[in-house]
Amino acid sequence: MEPILKVQNLSMDFGGLRALNDLDLDVISGEIVALIGPNGAGKTTFFNCITGIYPPTEGDILITPPGKKTKRINGIKPNKVTERGLARTFQNIRLFPNMTVLENVMIGHHCRMRAGILGAILKDRSTIKEEERVVENSYQILEKIGLSDFVNEFAKNLPYGAQRRLEIARAMATDPFLLLLDEPAAGMNPHETEDLDKLIKQIRDKEGISILLIEHDMKLVMSLSDRIFVVDYGKKIAQGTPAEIKNNKAVIKAYLGEDIDA
Amino acid sequence: MFLTFPIMVIRVNPIEKIIEWRWNNLILVGAGSFLISMVWRYMIERKDYGTRKAEAGEKSDQPPLIQRVMKDKRIYTPFLIIVALFACIFPFVFSMYQTNILITALIYVMLGLGLNIVVGLAGLLDLGYVAFYAVGAYTYALLNYHFGLTFWMVLPIGAGMGTLFGILLGFPVLRLRGDYLAIVTLGFGEIIRLILENWNEFSFGPSGIAQISRPSFLGMDMSVHGAIIYMYYIMIALCLFTIFFVNRLQDSRIGRAWIALREDETACQAMGIDKAKTKLTAFALGATWAGMGGVLFAAKTTFVNPASFTIWESIIILCIVVLGGMGSIVGVIVGALILILLPEYLRAFSEYRMLAFGILLVITMVFRPGGIVSDVRRIYQFKGTAETKS
Amino acid sequence: MDYFLELFLGGLTRGSIYALIALGYTMVYGIIELINFAHGEIYMIGAFTALIVISVLTMMGMNTLAILVIAGVIAVIYSSAYGYTVEKIAYKPLRNAPRLSALISAIGMSLFLQNYVLLAQTSDFLPFPNLIPDFEFMEPYAHIIGSTDIVIVITTAIVMIILTFLIKFTRIGKAMRATSQDKTMAMLTGVDVDRVISVTFIVGSATAAIGGVLIASHVGMINFYVGFIAGIKAFVAAVLGGIGSIPGAVLGSFVLGWTESFATGYISSDYEDVFAFLILVFILIFRPAGILGRSERHRV
């Protein structure tokens, strides 16, 4: 299988600090891949490099959208990355607090819409059609995510768990082939995490969106992932199936420290 | 607080070597500041109480009065009709003087709505808005002076010049964040004013350009009286056009992108919105309205000079937007009417106008950051998956 | 060559004064990330207070040097008090509000103070007596640089040294630096953040007041509006150097001072302010963080 995301020798320097060091990673279509590692290992930086927020110092980021040619997306702007079909969520929730839940999702559709200023003013047919389609579509996404009761609520008034789900809904609205989730379960209680587990699997199975996620909740990671990549100090220290990772000495050492024998 | 008021008490006149001791002011200030500080403390406490209540998860009992009025069709529609009727007959009921003031207020409504796109929706603090206003005014003044072009010909040109300058300024400042943007736009506004003031060959310097023709109706010559009434209706029509325009924009793809940009730039970009392009449209559209406002201003006063376009003009327009409620059309209209009409009718206090503006800005920000009428987002209703919009 | 030197030194004097005001901006910005629009007004109030004190004392017949010192001290005290009060009223309640709100509140405060002085005093320009005597040893150079200029440059240098010392080596300085790095963390380690902010405002206002007294005796007249213009220019200087950075503010001030001095000297004096703003726009376009500013990365 051809990977839809292929990252090769990725490095990122902040001044003298090497936050990512020669990292390789790939995601195959239909997979759920997890990226784990201790705090400060460079996971979010990795996401930021892929999504164009930081231009990487070295290496290649290649994407192959289904049915299209492979492209190198190093250093292109975040909005272009999203247009190409990579959507993300944020570790520290970044919704648009003073917009309604529905509008938040509608923003996700932005790059798939065409209406310009003239369209907005004249409200010609295609614009109205487009708006209707987007409203409809957004509502459907919210139903899938289980937020349809909150449609007209301001995003800032949602409970914490719902805000995390709304971020996922918003990302899905950009019509991605790969979803990057940055700690989707952070701050959730066990019950909410279980729902999230189902939701993520559903997104993969029903929507056909592949998923790359960063997560600290090991139970969730083990249950979800097809493959796991482990990073520490910006370097990849292991990769493999959940079962392989569980018994990997290097991983245990990274998490528990030097002195403990596995 | 007592310590800080010697300026009130002693007034010096170094030329004649006279010192006035104004002890009576001291008593006034003392009593005044005591009262004010009591009220202030009380208000702060109430506000804190409010936030604590909100944090505890209790919802405020009811939406504020104005929002209820706006939601309730039964009150809203007749209210609108009364306002419309009043607006129609105004020039025949009231004196020319009153009409003239209202024209000014309407120009500010337009400017406020234009700036509202930039500040209220897109969240870009523009302190040089007056520059585009000046561009519009001088476009009309100069074209009229040199080539005798009429109001109707220049109105679109003025708007276009506004857009052009908006884009011209927009390009370099797009990369800047909030505070830097504010100061650069402020600088830009001052540059335009200083150029107008000093480039005598082009703009006739500080003395300005006089005898600009008023708008004409089908080439007829009108008395001043008739011209003012005509001007008034042009203003009403243009304001309605502006409201229509902004309203449509607000609920469109672009309007949403602006608001998203205001709320969170990074997330906005990650959602596939082109930050630069979105900012630029907001900037250019805001400037377009300022350009139009400028043409109207020149046509109304028949005289322009650089002194009309100081930084304070920008700040007054900003006050209108902020006080009325950022992002809210009704708010901006209310804000403009209050800020422009009140000082006119309270002539006795006109000296205190700017002082009051200052206090008003601080108080609004501290106690009611949303302005008088806060932004109401559109409500969508769904029955199952089939949806109908309200 | 003499002309060049004259312009150079003139720029130095201007730069020194801008630096005194710019410091207040930069310190406040460094700590609470707010453009204190009212800062120029604080400086104007300093100048006014000094003028009032000087007038009163002159009529009582004191000697000039004593008057200058007393006026300076009182101006510093009053400006600091104003700075402190402004912070308590207009900024403290907005500590956690969006930055736009605080900024607008600052503009409101600036508007208020300006008109307050306008109404309480007068809208006319008031002559400000030049109390700095002409030094005799300066005689041979008098055509290039006046005694007042020397005093200004030296005072600025002294203030800079004191300020650097304050920030680098004292307890409160350490607390300031900690607060500007991370407010929450500073609070957790026992720094009284409110007090730090108050002190910042007081120190900033005090330097502005010194600047106010100096520039007033340099230019020879003041009115209620001087604060705003000087404030904006000083802010431009602070941004030029990279706002939040103290050496940056000083450097930016000198750059601005020289630009204005040379541009007005060699090109045209009508466009003095235009040059100031043009250089601002250019620098921000090519180096958005200013000359010495670190380019910031937003944490995502």
Could you tell me the residue ranges of all domains in chain B? 2-55, 68-381
Chains that touch C (3 or more CB pairs under 8 A): A, B
Has residue B384 got a pLDDT over 70? no
Q: Which of A152, A170, A188 is the last residue of a domain?
A: A170
Chains that touch B (3 or more CB pairs under 8 A): A, C
Give φ, ψ of C7 to 5 degrees.
Answer: -65, -40
How, if at all, do strands A210-214 and A32-36 pair? Answer: parallel
- ipTM for the predicted complex comes to 0.84
- Position B288 scores a pLDDT of 92
The Cα–Cα gap between C86 and C201 comes to 9
Q: Please give the structure tokens belonging to residue A217.
A: 């909740």
- Would the CB atoms of B369 and C127 count as touching at under 8 Å? no
- Would the CB atoms of B263 and A116 count as touching at under 8 Å? no
Has residue B267 got a pLDDT over 60? yes
Give φ, ψ of C82 to 5 degrees.
Answer: -65, -45
CB-nearest to A107 from B249, B256, B266 is B256
pLDDT band at C291 (very low <50, low <70, confident <90, very high): low
A236 & A262 share domain = yes
Total domains in the fold of chain A: 2
Between residues B184 and B112, which one has the greater pLDDT?
A: B112
CB-nearest to B17 from C59, C104, C107 is C59
| pLDDT, mean of residues A12-33 | 85
Which residues on chain B are in Cβ contact (under 8 Å) with A140? Answer: 385
Domain enclosing residue A119, as ranges: 94-170
- Closest by CA to C272, choosing from B312, B179, B197, is B197
Best of A12, A14, A45, A48 to mutate (most C CBs within 10 Å, chain C): A48
Q: Any CB–CB contact under 8 A between B285 and chain A?
A: yes
The Cα–Cα gap between B184 and C243 comes to 14
Interface residue ranges in chain A relative to chain C, Cβ cutoff 8 Å: 14, 44, 48, 53-54, 90-91, 94
pLDDT band at B100 (very low <50, low <70, confident <90, very high): confident
- Position B287 scores a pLDDT of 92
Chains that touch A (3 or more CB pairs under 8 A): B, C
A246 & A124 share domain = no
What's the Cα-to-Cα distance from C181 to each of A92, B49, C95, rounded to whole Å?
Answer: 20, 30, 16
Domain boundaries, chain C: 25-227
| pLDDT, mean of residues B323-330 | 78
- Position B22 scores a pLDDT of 53
| pLDDT, mean of residues C183-196 | 79
Has residue A247 got a pLDDT over 80? yes
Q: Any CB–CB contact under 8 A between C297 and chain A?
A: yes
- Closest by CA to B291, choosing from B165, B375, B176, is B165
Residue C140, classified by CB atoms within 10 Å of its CB into exposed (0-12), middle (13-18) or buried (19+), is exposed
Has residue C300 got a pLDDT over 60? no
- Position B10 scores a pLDDT of 46
Write out the H or E segment, with its range, that includes residue B19.
Answer: strand B18-21
pLDDT band at B290 (very low <50, low <70, confident <90, very high): very high
A67 & A120 share domain = no
User: Can you name the residues that pair with A88 across neighbouring β-strands?
Assistant: A180
Amino acid letter, A129: K
Has residue B11 got a pLDDT over 70? no
- Name the CATH topology of B68-381: ABC transporter involved in vitamin B12 uptake, BtuC (1.10.3470)
- Closest by CA to A198, choosing from A43, A62, A79, A32, is A32
- Would the CB atoms of C300 and A48 count as touching at under 8 Å? yes
Cβ pair C262, C7 in contact under 8 A = yes
Mean pLDDT of chain B: 74
Which residues on chain A are in Cβ contact (under 8 Å) with C297? Answer: 14, 54
- Position B371 scores a pLDDT of 64
A80 & A101 share domain = no
Full strand arrangement of the beta sheet holding A71-72:
A17-28, A3-14, A58-63, A71-72
What's the Cα-to-Cα distance from B366 to each of A84, B123, B249, C119, rounded to whole Å?
Answer: 44, 19, 30, 25
The Cα–Cα gap between A173 and C266 comes to 59
Cβ pair A95, A155 in contact under 8 A = yes
The Cα–Cα gap between C109 and C38 comes to 6
- Would the CB atoms of A44 and C297 count as touching at under 8 Å? no
Has residue C148 got a pLDDT over 50? yes
* Cα R_g (chain B), whole angstroms: 23
Q: Kindly report the CATH number assigned to the domain that includes residue A72.
A: 3.40.50.300
Q: Any CB–CB contact under 8 A between C129 and chain B?
A: yes
Q: Percentage of chain A with pLDDT > 90?
A: 0
Has residue C138 got a pLDDT over 50? yes
Q: Which of A79-93, C22-36, C91-105 is the most confident on average?
A: A79-93
Q: Residue B162 contacts by C-beta under 8 Å, 6 or more apart in sequence? A: B132, B135, B136, B287, B288, B289, B290, B291, B292, B294
Has residue B76 got a pLDDT over 80? no
